[in-house]
Amino acid sequence: MMKQPIRDWLQNNYFSVAQPVLKNGAGIYPLILACQQGRSDVVEFLIEQQAALDVVDQYGNNALWAACYAENSDCIDALIDAGIDINHQNSASGATALIYAASSGREKIVEQLLNAGADPTLKSHDDFTALDLASTRKILKLLSKLVKSGD
C-alpha cells in the first residue's frame, strides 16, 4: 500500500500513481526528481517498484548524480544498495558523480562515494579526474591518498 506522502508527491509532480516509475509529461523521471529533492522515502518506494536505475536526465546524469546534487546520503545509499552504476559518466562531459562532488566541494559525499567503491581514476572528456578538480583541501587529501596508493 502506498503511503499518502508518497502518493501526494507523485500527484504534485504529475507522475502516475498507477505506474509510479514512469516519467511525467515533461519527460522527468520520478527517481531523478526524488533524488534532486532529497526524498529518500520516495526513492526507496520507487526502487521497491522496480524503477530503472539507468535512467538519465536531459544532461545525461543519472539518479546518483541528482542525489549528490542534493547532498542526500540516504538517497545515495539506497541507490548504491540497489545497484546503480556508481561510475556512470554523463554524456555531456564524461563526468561521474564523484567528479561532480569533488568539483563542487561536497566533502561528505566524496567520502561516501569513495567508501562505496567509486573509481577516482576515471576522466572526463576534458581529461580531468576528480583529483584534478578537487575544490577543497579535504577532498584533495581524500583523493590524492587513493590515487597515490593505487587503490
- Distance in angstroms (rounded) separating the CA atoms of residues 87 and 99: 10
| Boundaries of domain holding 127 | 88-151
What is the tally of structural domains in the chain?
2
**Residue 145: per-residue pLDDT:** 87
Q: Are residues 27 and 99 in the same domain?
A: no
In CATH, what number is assigned to the domain containing residue 70? Answer: 1.25.40.20
Q: Are residues 95 and 51 in the same domain?
A: no
Q: Are residues 61 and 17 in the same domain?
A: yes
Q: What 8-state DSSP symbol labels residue 68?
A: H
Q: Are residues 53 and 106 in the same domain?
A: no
What torsion do the CA atoms of 21, 22, 28, 30 make, to the nearest 10 degrees? -10
**Residue 146: per-residue pLDDT:** 82
Q: Are residues 7 and 80 in the same domain?
A: yes
Q: Are residues 100 and 79 in the same domain?
A: no
Q: Are residues 105 and 120 in the same domain?
A: yes
Tell me what the pLDDT averaged over the chain comes to. Answer: 96
Q: Are residues 7 and 43 in the same domain?
A: yes
Question: How much is the pTM?
Answer: 0.94
Q: What's the grid cell of residue 127?
A: 581529461
Q: Are residues 117 and 149 in the same domain?
A: yes
Q: Are residues 3 and 67 in the same domain?
A: yes
Residue 110 pLDDT greater than 70, yes or no = yes
Angle at 26 (CA atoms; ends 20, 32), nearest 5 degrees:
55
Predicted confidence band of residue 97 (pLDDT cuts 50, 70, 90): very high
Predicted confidence band of residue 151 (pLDDT cuts 50, 70, 90): low
Reported as a single tens digit per residue, the pLDDT across 2-47 is 999 999 999 999 999 999 999 999 999 999 999 999 999 999 999 9
Q: Are residues 81 and 95 in the same domain?
A: no
